[in-house]
Amino acid sequence: MDLKALEKTALSVRALAMDAIQKANSGHPGMVMGAAELGALLYGEILRHDPSEPAWPDRDRFVLSAGHGSMFLYSLLHLSGYKEMTLDAIKSFRQVGSAAAGHPEYGYSGGIEMTTGPLGQGFATAVGMAIAETMLSARFNTGNRNIVDHFTYVLAGDGCLQEGVSAEASSLAGHLELGKLIVFYDSNKITIDGSTDLSFTEDVAKRYEAYGWQVLSGSMYNFEEIVALIAKAKAEAIKPSIIILKSNIGKGSPNKENSADSHGAPLGMDEVISARKVLGIPSDDNGLDFYIAPEAVDYFKAKREGWKKNRENWFTEFDAWAKENPDLKKEWDAFYSGKANAGNLPDFTLGEKIATRTAAHKSLQAISAANPNLAGGSADLKGPNAVGIPGNYSPSNRGGVYIHFGIREFAMAAIANGISLHGGFRSFCATFMVFSDYLRPALRLSALMKQPVIYVLTHDSIFVGEDGPTHQPVEHLAVLRAIPNVRVLRPADAEETAQAWAMAMERTDGPTVLALSRQNTTVFAKDDPQWKDSLRKGAYIAQKAAKPEAVIIATGSEVNLAMEAAALSGKNVQVVSMISRELFESQSEDYQNNIVPAGVRTIVCEAGIRQGWERWAKPADIFSLERFGESGPGDKVAKHLGFTAKALSEMI
Ligand SMILES: Cc1ncc(C[n+]2csc(CCOP(=O)(O)OP(=O)(O)O)c2C)c(N)n1
Ligand SMILES: [Mg+2]
């Protein structure tokens, strides 16, 4: 280990961070300067990575959960030689189009394993990556050839450890014995408001011991000590490890070290110049020179060959494994193909009364059988969400694909993101729709990172019944649809539900919500013979009317209700089932006009708030719910709220 080169690397990280943040006039130097030594060590000595092929499957994962310290990642990616992270990108830190975005953005550069910035989520998502590693290794390692064998590293700060989501995820990680998960805690005792004495005085070490983790601690500024700690962490096969490193935020800044002033604002040019003197950063002029120590450049240059070799060795090993295990290789290819198998979807009979969640359960069995790389579970609602699939994942059964997430919705969704990001797997998670509020920040990241995670959200309206308003979503469909790149599918009957699961699996560039009913819906005859294709355009004519006097757009369980109301009204009413408003709105005007003809009165029917439907009907023609529900049997609640076929027929 070349200590001098490591020191020079840490120095360069500090120099780049100070200058880039100064130039952008925005950013967070404190954490980067405080943890630069760890960065140098990780990228130089610890991580199994190869900048010339950043996505090779068996690389170690590193997640910067403290995403505000983005310059930590960018400077090290640059030094390592990740091609997108050029010096120019760093010089345009935080500017539109730069790979060095304000916070690390997934897809902007090799080496950015996920989007971070929302504190705590990186940590929780990394737990998903670590789970995926164990699942893959159980499936594909043969004992003599272990082609899946990597670690998941996280750098988290005080903020990540204060956030509840990391607690949820840590508790589960301990339970699941994710021994290859190694978290560094940058313990600088400073957050934005000042000292952690203001709000964070618990004993983190004891907490993690209680979670079943190995707790190690040391100084951020002792390379040899950290190397020894990492060795201990790696040697612990059962417990995940947290390495608490005492550090000084803003280290090297003479007036801002150990102060919240260095957390989230440029140091100021005068302070940058003083810091350079303290740190021994040579500077020809007093401007921004983005100094990189030549020793650091040489050090990383010298590493590249070894990294490449290491990666090539893995491919050689992989090829040998593939030759010896052609069936496994086939399965591996299927896992990594990015394509879902259609599976043998169940048939349903006209008039059959079945909840869409139950129809979804049947469909999921077929899809799971055809796609053994589909992994997921529910937040303790396996039965109610109807998402059980064979094979519980546990420390003694890493080959299982059903995960008991416990009552931890937010961590569940973050972990589902991690499983998806890791590669090899598709993931799903499930809870009551009303509790999607508990996981929404992770759904937002699925959407932002374009991960095709499937969110099974059952009990999707006031028809939930007796559990009452706390369990009855009203605003949630609107809320879920409001997130860009989230596809909300609300199938109307069992047949649509089977297609909805298939549609969710077909999607590759973002998350899908399956909004499913607790109560029965009746399988209806579809007047559009091509309805399965039309469904994929967001909406189709479920019940055609020759010269319609009105068109009802209904979603999910309300399609039944709309048909009943149409019959009661005695009028010529066309009923449209709109499984996805977003998909429908992205179709050609012609298609839209075929389904919802202009010049005909349009009524919208959905058991939720009207927000977002105004484009399709006048407010007075939107049959919606603008209040919380009530507790009682579903049909009684609906009657009490005036949400009945009779009321809709009167509106018609
Ligand atoms: C969920 C979330 N809440 C709030 C913020 C805003 N924020 C960014 S950094 C930070 C303080 C983090 O403190 P710490 O992790 O100790 O970082 P340090 O100050 O040591 O760099 C806050 C509140 C955020 N990014 N994410
Ligand atoms: Mg801190």
The rounded average pLDDT for each run of 10 residues, N- to C-terminus, in the chain (652 residues) is 97 98 97 98 98 98 98 98 98 98 98 98 99 98 96 98 98 98 98 98 98 98 98 98 98 97 95 95 85 98 98 98 98 96 96 98 98 98 98 98 98 99 98 98 98 98 96 98 98 98 98 98 98 98 96 98 98 98 98 96 98 96 98 97 98 96
The closest ligand to the CA of 263 turns out to be 1
Q: Pocket around ligand 1: residues whose beta carbon is below 6 Å from it? A: 30-31, 66, 68, 117-119, 157-160, 163, 188, 190-192, 249, 263
- Angle at CA of residue 428, ends 373 and 131, nearest 5°: 60
Residue nearest atom 16 in ligand 1 by C-alpha distance:
158
Q: Is 202 exposed, middle or buried (0-12, 13-18, 19+ CB in 10 A)?
A: exposed
Ligand 1 atom with least separation from CA of 249: 20
- What residue has token string 């009957």? 493
Nearest atom within ligand 1 for CA of residue 163? 1
- Which atom number of ligand 1 is nearest to the Cα of residue 120? 1
Distance CA 114, CA 59 (A): 14
What residue's CA is closest to ligand 1, atom 9?
68
d(Cα 28, Cα 68) in Å, to the nearest integer? 6
CA of 528 to the centre of ligand 2 (A): 59
Q: What angle do CA 58, 64, 68 make, to 5 degrees?
A: 155
Backbone angles phi, psi at 113, to 5 degrees: -75, -20
Ligand 2 centroid distance, CA of 276 (Å): 23
Q: Which of 584, 381, 578 is nearest to 490 (CA)?
A: 578
The whole-number pLDDT of residue 215 equals 99
Give the Å distance between the CA of 264 and the centre of ligand 1: 9
- Type of residue at 270: D
- For the sheet with 512-516, list strands across it: 402-404, 374-378, 426-432, 454-458, 512-516, 487-489
Residue among 31, 68, 163, 189 whose CB has most ligand 1 atoms within 8 A, to mutate: 68
Ligand 1 atom at shortest distance from the alpha carbon of 67: 25
SS3 of residue 459 by DSSP: coil
Task: Among 26, 65, 191, say which to mutate for ligand 1: greatest number of ligand atoms within 8 Å of CB.
Answer: 191
Alpha helices (H) along 472-557: 476-482, 494-506, 531-535
**Ligand 2 centre from 43 Cα, in Å?**
22
Do residues 553 and 539 lie in contact, with contact meaning Cβ atoms separated by under 8 Å?
Answer: yes
Ligand nearest to the CA of 187: 2
Q: Of the bound ligands, which one is closest to the alpha carbon of residue 121?
A: 1
Q: What are 472-476's contacts with CB under 8 Å, separation 24+?
A: 472/434, 472/628, 472/629, 472/637, 473/432, 473/433, 473/434, 473/436, 473/608, 474/607, 474/608, 474/609, 474/625, 474/627, 474/628, 474/629, 475/608, 475/609, 475/611, 476/433, 476/434, 476/436, 476/437, 476/608
Cα dihedral 480, 482, 484, 488, rounded to 10, equals: 40
Q: What amino acid occupies position 91?
A: K
Does the pTM surpass 0.85? The reply is yes
| Gyration radius (Cα) of the chain, Å | 27
Annotated catalytic residue: which of 37, 177, 257, 409? 409
463 vs 477: CA distance, rounded Å: 14
Per DSSP, what are the bridge partners of residue 623? 605
Question: Ligand 1, from 119, 125, 259, 448: best to mutate by most atoms within 8 Å of Cβ?
Answer: 119
How far does Cα 22 stand from its chain's mean position?
Answer: 31
Cα-to-centroid distance, 156 and ligand 2 (Å): 9
Side-chain-facing half-sphere of 43: CA atoms under 13 Å = 35
Residues 291 and 312: their CA atoms lie apart, in Å, by 33
d(Cα 328, Cα 347) in Å, to the nearest integer?
32
- At residue 38, the pLDDT reads 98
Torsion angle of C-alpha atoms 351, 357, 363, 367, degrees rounded to 10 = 170
CA 161 / ligand 2 centre spacing (Å): 10
Whole-number pLDDT of residue 286:
75
How far is Cα 64 from Cα 13, in angstroms, rounded to an integer? 15
pLDDT at 397: 98
Q: How far is the CA of 102 from the centre of ligand 1 (A)?
A: 14
Residues β-bridged to residue 4:
none
Instruction: Give residue 131's pLDDT.
Output: 99
Which distant-in-sequence residues (6+ apart) come within 8 Å of 533 by Cβ?
A: none
Burial of 423 (0-12, 13-18, 19+ CB in 10 A): middle
Residue nearest atom 8 in ligand 1 by C-alpha distance: 68
Question: Containing H/E element for 637?
Answer: helix 634-640
| CA distances (Å), origin 505, targets 346, 354, 513, 574 | 16, 22, 11, 30
Structure tokens at 640: 């009490």
Known catalytic residue: 409?
yes
Query: Which atom of ligand 1 has the smallest separation from the CA of 188?
Result: 20
Protein residues with C-beta less than 5 angstroms from the ion ligand 2: 157-158, 188, 190
Q: Look at residue 625 in the predicted model and tell me its pLDDT.
A: 98
The confidence score (pLDDT) of residue 556 equals 98
Residue 410 CA: which ligand is closest? 1
Sheet order of strands, 573-578 included: 539-543, 573-578, 550-554, 601-605, 622-623
